[in-house]
Structure 1
Amino acid sequence: MRTISNFCSLFTVILFLFSCEKEGAQIDLQTGNFPAAALSASGTTIVLTPDKENQTAISFQWLAAEFGGQPVISYVLQLGTIADTANNWATARSINIDAGKTKYDFIVKDLNNLLNSMNVPANMANKIAVRIRANVNQYNGAASTIAPAFSNTLTQQITSYALDLYVPGDYQGWSPGTAPKLAAVPGKPGLYEGYVNMPGAGQHYFKYTNAPDWDHTNYGDGGNGTFNTDGNAAGLSVPDGGFYYLTANLNTNSWTATKVVWGILGDASPGNWDTDTEMSYNEAQQVWSVTANMKKNGSFKFRANKAWTLDFGLDANGKLHYANNPFLGYTDGLNNLSVPDDGNYTLILDLHIAGNYTYTLQKN
């Protein structure tokens, strides 16, 4: 009996010690918080320029958050507009920070890409709010029941530069570095448009990229006229070769491709206002042209597909400007074009540089 009694006593002691060890290993988590002014930055006014795209634009660093004990904490750097902060940062951009790091360096091109994705106007100073979110990580990856903690918020003045969208595809060897581009629409952040010729019969595939390489954001097919920024997404496509008007709306992740044939129409032209005089596309020179007998006492416009859907007039500075455009809307108050004298003219319409459309009148 003494042996049994001694064994029970020993078991009780071991159980007690084991219980104490387990209890001592528990972490008493508390509501998280950062020290005052935990987040700081290397500057407050930043002007981004493409010639310095691989240089550091700004560095953020922060003091560690406290949740009690020693839980595993992960950090997320958040950037948003002032409107975001009033909407609980609902559309702010988030960057996951590597474990153990309390500093993040933004290089110019990455920060510029992020600001463009936020659709803030380029080439002007914008107020950008920045904060750090601290999360307690569950050992099994499940969502934590501990509420995140947030640092102080910094307000930075950042000027970004506009991005072009490159259009690599099978029609030119899938080479972003040599691809034509869509240009940002002035005054309409997130909107891009331009013209691309895709020669050859049959379906053509292409993508949009926001840099002349595959190392940044690539826009592939998301279905139903939308983008997908997954690098493995299928290409966008058109059903047949030809000259296309392409658009991209990064606000809605949508795009369009409209095959166009250009012509002239007006009482200065052979067909008056009734019949379009079609132009021909010269692939080598990348221009549309037509030779026709024109009249001084009259005017004309360039229009696509024999319809008042996509056409050009002249603005107050004598530059081509869209009158009708389903992507950009209608512009009132534009002038028609005209020729200085009666005679035979070669009219040339050059649309190959996105956003910089020109025409010439050559009297023969």
Structure 2
Amino acid sequence: MFAACEEEDKAVIGDEVIPPQMTSPSDGASIVVSETNMADELIITWEEADYGVDLAVTYTVEMDIKDNVFYAPAIVASTQENTATVTIEAINTMIISDLHQQANERSDVEFRVVATTEGLDDLTSPVVAGTVTTFQSAGDPAVVTTPAVGAESTITVANLMDKFSVEWSPADLGTSDVVYTVELVVGDASVVLGKTGETKLAVNNESLNYYLVGNLEQAGGAAVTASLQVTASSSTTDLKSELSSVVVNTLDATVPGRLYVPGGYQNWVPDVAPTLNQSGDIFDGFVYMNIETGFKFTSAPDWDHTNFGFDSEGVLTKDGDAAGLTYGPGFFRYQVDTVNLTYVASLVESFGLIGTATPGAWDSSTPMTYDEATDTWRATADLVVGALKFRANDAWDINYGVADITSLRGQLYFDGGSYDVKEDGNYTVILSFDTQKTPYQFNYEIIKN
């Protein structure tokens, strides 16, 4: 017997000590799991380790994927006997859930037995290799319930910001950890509307129109027949719903209208001025003005069309000789109604991160910093698993979320859903409200440092 010199040290194993030897299953064994053999048993046997003396020995049966060198094996059994019995269902579950292998596919696996006794080094058997073809029933797919099959929707300038909502029944994948991907399909082409852990998702009509006319190359100002499809995904399975047809009467424009904001802060040059984008009857956007400055709104990148000047606070005039508005310095949100000749100017003193993923949870924003050179808001912060949104001035009047809860970059949506932070860590978050780039949308990017 090899006694330890200190309690925490283990003795060196001598030549006469023999590790355990697996006798069943044999090397090269193959198991094909099916719905009918889940209750069958796999009997694992081995010759006991020989320490030269009688000792209390615990045997642990480990299983791992070939070439993983048992870095994080599944524990099949632990016993003081030289045999262990486990069901085929348990082996199947370990391979899919613990070893993260795809269901209904063959996996190359390895087994070994580790002998452990107090005060001595562990003894490990030679590896026995084999294959297991896992099984998982297809389950039940999601079913699109809203909009109804064949429902018709019409996009107009007045309803660009209205929500186009998709809802569906939950899929049954045998787990509650399911992510749904919603796609808009025309013929053989498709575009992803978003991803969510819920059973509903909404995009505004402006985005829907762009997806159809811009991405899927359908005609503007026409009745387009498309289909909605929801894919339910777990860690091991993807299951698609049946296609659900809809008819969308598109708007004859791939991008919204624009209102230009020339002023003294950029030398009164309309064709290079920041723009506000049309959202229904309202033009909406953000402009950074580095000085207190006069400015106007123009309907074109020149002075030859309609330009809107200052009438009174909150009121515009089309009189081309009228004075301009005066605001600044700062980062402003402007909302302009060119029909009723009104406007709202909101100073954005800060943007911030908000949600359970942030240090302030839902109670207080983690501040971002405006970068004038890139016209972006940025923050580097420690985030935890949880929800993440973005809001201005530590309030909810101006807040944005995302359509795809899993995408590290994408379009910002006013009052949209929360991004799902999946891993604790240090992140850099960037918000861009640049309206000069196609497709004229506000964007976010999340970078794990």
Task: Provide TM-score, normalisation by structure 1.
Answer: 0.50
Alignment deviations for residues 163-197 of structure 1 (CA, whole Å, 9 cap, x no partner) = 31100011111110110101111xx2x31101100
RMSD between aligned alpha carbons? 2.1
**Unpaired segments ≥5 residues, structure 1:** 1-122, 126-157, 324-333
Q: Deviations over 1:93-120 (max 9, x none)?
A: xxxxxxxxxxxxxxxxxxxxxxxxxxxx
User: C-alpha distance in 1, partners of 2:339/2:365?
Assistant: 36
The CA deviation at 1:159 is 6.2
> Residue 162 of structure 1: CA displacement?
5.0
Which residue pairs with 2:13 in the alignment? none
AA at the equivalent of 1:321 = Y
In the alignment, is residue 264 of structure 1 matched against residue 359 of structure 2? Answer: no
Report the CA distance shift for 1:162/1:267 in structure 2 as closer, same or farther (over 3 A): closer
Residues 299 and 219 (structure 1), Cα distance of their counterparts in 2 relative to 1, 3 Å cut: same
The percentage of counterpart residues that share the same residue type is 39
Q: How does 1:126-137 map to 2 (within 5 A)?
A: none
Structure 1 position 192 matched with structure 2 position 283: yes
Is 1:245 aligned to 2:336, yes or no? Answer: no
C-alpha spacing 1:275/1:348, structure 2 compared with 1 (3 Å): same
Match of 1:174 among 244, 260, 268: 268
Contact preservation (8 Å) 1:269, 1:294: yes
3-state SS of 2:420 partner: coil
SS in 2 for 1:307: coil
Point out the structure with the larger strand share: 2
1:316: Cα distance to partner?
Answer: 5.9
The reply to whether residue 363 of structure 1 matches residue 448 of structure 2 is yes
Q: Give yes or no for contact 2:387–2:420 (8 Å, CA) kept in 1.
A: yes
1:347 matched to 2:432? The reply is: no
Contact in 2 for aligned 1:181/1:194 (Cα 8 Å): yes
Whose RCO is larger (CA < 8 A, sep 6+)? 1
Contact 2:388/2:421 (CA < 8 Å) preserved in 1?
A: no
For 1:322, the equivalent position in structure 2 comes to: 414
- Per the TM alignment, residue 276 of structure 1 is displaced from its structure 2 partner at its CA by 1.1
Matching residue's letter, 2:414: Y
1:303 equivalent in alignment to 2:391: yes
Q: Please tell me the residue identity of whatever aligns with 1:322.
A: F
Matches within 5 A, 1:63-78: none
1:274 aligns with 2:380: no
* Distance (Å, rounded) in 2 between the aligned partners of 1:178 and 1:159: 26
Q: Of the candidates 208, 226, 245, which is equivalent to residue 315 of structure 2?
A: 226
For 2:297 and 2:357, locate their aligned partners in 1 and report how far apart those are by CA, in whole Å. 39
2-structure distance, mates of 1:214, 1:227: 17
> Per the alignment, do residues 316 and 280 of structure 1 end up closer, same or farther by CA in structure 2, a change over 3 Å counting?
closer
Deviations 1:304-343 (A, max 9, x none): 00011110122368642111xxxxxxxxxx4211323110
For the Cα contact (< 8 Å) 1:339–1:361, is it kept in 2? Answer: no
CA distance in 2, matches of 1:321, 1:348: 15
How many aligned positions are there?
193
Amino acid across the alignment from 2:387: S
Distance, in Å, in 2 between the alignment partners of 1:229 and 1:320 is: 32
Q: Distance in 1 between matches of 2:269 and 2:345?
A: 20
- Which of 392, 414, 420 aligns to 1:338? It is 420
2:320 corresponds to which letter in structure 1? G
Cα separation, partners in 2 of 1:271 and 1:252, compared to 1, 3 Å: same
Greater helix share, structure number: 1
Distance in 2, matches of 1:363 and 1:353, equals 26
CA distance in 2, matches of 1:274, 1:234: 42
State the Cα deviation string for residues 194-218 of structure 1 (Å, max 9, x = none): 1100013xx3211000111111111
Answer yes or no: is the 8 Å Cα contact 1:349–1:358 preserved in 2: yes
Q: Are the counterparts in 1 of residues 404 and 419 from structure 2 also a CA contact under 8 Å?
A: no
Report the secondary structure of 1:299's partner residue. Answer: strand
Task: Please give the secondary structure, in 1, of the residue aligned with 2:357.
Answer: coil
**Secondary structure in 2 matching 1:300:** strand
Distance in structure 2 (CA, Å) of the matches to 1:192 and 1:307: 22
Read off the aligned partner of 1:191 and give its amino acid letter: I
